[in-house]
Structure 1
């Protein structure tokens, strides 16, 4: 996926920071790495299921081939490895892909199944060598190709499977007394398959990480305010609507907050729009730090106006959060000689605290928060005012 114009992305975007830092070692910062793991398993889940299913069918096909072509001394043990070890392991991994709670562990589960397949094939070769049966070794190369390209294993997991299988095969051939010249050729071919697989798998994961960053940057552009890095009005409205419905279902209180930078038009007129942008950016950073839990959100609503939502919280707690926002913004000490509140940039905050009712909607709560904001301005600005539905002004 092509990266968007980076000049249009908020400069505090974690996706932008990661893009600029690079990821040659196929690793992101902790928060993004966890998000990428979720993205990656979702992206390759169907492919992983089909790869495991195809691997099981091929193993069963080879079992039929073994049954009709191998001598009894080799056949029984070979079938035991295929049908008692490899196929059940692949089946367990395939079933695990349908368990949502196991998705964070699928790289380990499917990697373990793939490794069991590789070691199982090495075991089949060992059985054949022990009975002086000339079983072709090329099956181990097919398994190696499978590791790297079919089940969606990431580079480190696939490389571990591939190279552990390589060394297991070498051990089998050394112990079975394979002639040195033949062992050398087989080892070179298998090592080459692993090297090709490593390069291919590395670039596949690198491209997947590029796509993840590009999608994140595009999402930031669509949902985040360029100046402050907070949600924009549209994204806030969409998320807040979902949270509102959840609060109605779960009977949880909501705190809807409207915030307005005091006398900001005068600030812009006096200090200029560039300084105004810097002031809004600083205010947005203070506000954004106070909404970190799931279902909490803050946004730039337009101009100098901000909005916030806190879920399942006591009124006294949210009042303390809002008072912290107000005092931290005042403590920024951004000069504002045109302000009638103080000599620095301040903010007025209106809180609507309510338990959502079936006859209410999000717009009702926002209007109530707007009334509280009006009261905060009327009472002198640089303050927090709270209102509940039905309470007189």
Structure 2
């Protein structure tokens, strides 16, 4: 997927950092890796369900074939392995795809399913060899191809299962006394299948990760303010509403914040709009650095105004964090000769700290934070005011 020029985007974007840093070992930064795992599960869940159903039908067809052709001494044991091991594992894995609490574990569950089926086929080969019945070994190749490309396993899981099944097959044939030349050819073909599967699975996951990053970057292009790299107002409203509902369910406290650069119109009039844009970017970078947890979000609300939501912080920590933002903005030491507060650019901040309840809305909290911001300006600007407490954070 070709992306537009991304040079203007903030390097605070995890997607952009990862895209530029690469991922040849099929591993992202920690939080992004967790997001990709969830994305991969959602993307491949439907494929996994259909693949498991197809595998179930094939197992039943093979069972019919076994019952029709195999001699008595082999048939019963083979049917036990197919219907008593492989079939329940496949159906159990299929059922797990419908249980949301198990979705984070689907790679483990799917890997167990693939390994169990591969080992069961190796056991079927052992049963036939022990009875001197010439059962074709190609069934194990079919199983290997299945879990490399159809069940939705990621590369590491699929590779681990594939090569373990190869080792199991070789041990079975060695124990059964298969002639060395035949074993060499069989093992070579199975190893080649695993090699093709490993490389193919790597490229498939690499492409899936590229697509994930591209989707994330395109989403950020839509959601981010082009000047500052922070969320735009619409994207903030959507995310903050989700976080508000989550806090209501989990009974977690929120800090809802409004921020405004002091006397910014005068700054633009004195230094020009280009310099004003640079100041906005610098302040936005400070604000963004203090909102990097997954459920924190900050945005440019309009003009020189910023808005933020911090999830699960107690009041003292929230005030300390906002005081750090205020002091860090002042520490930028951006000259502001037209300010009545200081000789440099400063920031006024209003916060409301609350536990959401059903009779309250995010809009109510934003109005309260705006009232706190108004109070911060009335008290002389360049300060943090908590609306509920009605006091300044020094």
Aligned pairs for 1:167-178 (under 5 A) are 167-178=167-178
Give the SS at the match of 1:53. Answer: helix
**Between Structure 1 and Structure 2, how many residues are aligned?**
391
In 2, Cα distance between the equivalents of 1:178 and 1:282? Answer: 72
Q: 1:250 to 1:43 in 2, by over 3 A?
A: closer
Aligned residue number for residue 152 of structure 1 = 152
Which aligned pairs between 1:308-387 and structure 2 lie closer than 5 A? 308-311=308-311, 315-352=315-352, 361-387=361-387
Change (3 A) 1:189 1:242: closer
Give the structure 1 partner of residue 286 of structure 2. 286
What CA RMSD, in Å, does the superposition of the two structures yield over aligned residues?
2.7
Shift, 1:297, TM fit: 2.4
Retained in 2: the 8 A contact 1:10–1:224? Answer: no
For 2:164 and 2:285, locate their aligned partners in 1 and report how far apart those are by CA, in whole Å: 49
Q: Give the structure 2 partner of residue 14 of structure 1.
A: 14
Distance 1:29 1:369, change over 3 A: closer
Deviations 1:109-148 (A, max 9, x none): 1111111111111111111111111111111111111011
Deviation at 1:187, TM superposition (A): 1.9
Distance (whole Å) between structure 2 residues aligned to residue 132 and residue 251 of structure 1: 67
Q: Matches of 2:202 and 2:353 in 1, distance apart?
A: 51
Post-superposition offset of 1:328: 2.5
| Pair 1:293–1:203, CA change in 2 (3 A) | closer
**1:215 positional shift:** 0.8
CA distance in 2 between partners of 1:365 and 1:75 (Å): 71
- Is 2:219 the partner of 1:231? no
Question: By how many angstroms is 1:28 displaced?
Answer: 1.2
Residues 178 and 229 from structure 1, CA distance in 2 versus in 1: closer, same or farther, beyond 3 angstroms? same
Residue 198 of structure 2 corresponds to 198
Deviation of 1:239 (Å): 2.5
Shift of 1:342: 0.9
TM-score (norm 1): 0.89
Which residue matches 1:132?
132
The CA deviation string for residues 195-243 of structure 1, in whole angstroms up to 9 with x for no partner, is 2212221111111001100111011112222343322111112223344
Using a 3 Å threshold, how does the CA distance of structure 1 residues 77 and 312 change in structure 2: closer, same or farther?
Answer: closer
Q: 1 CA distance for matches of 2:244 and 2:103?
A: 29
Q: Which runs of 5+ in 1 are unaligned?
A: none
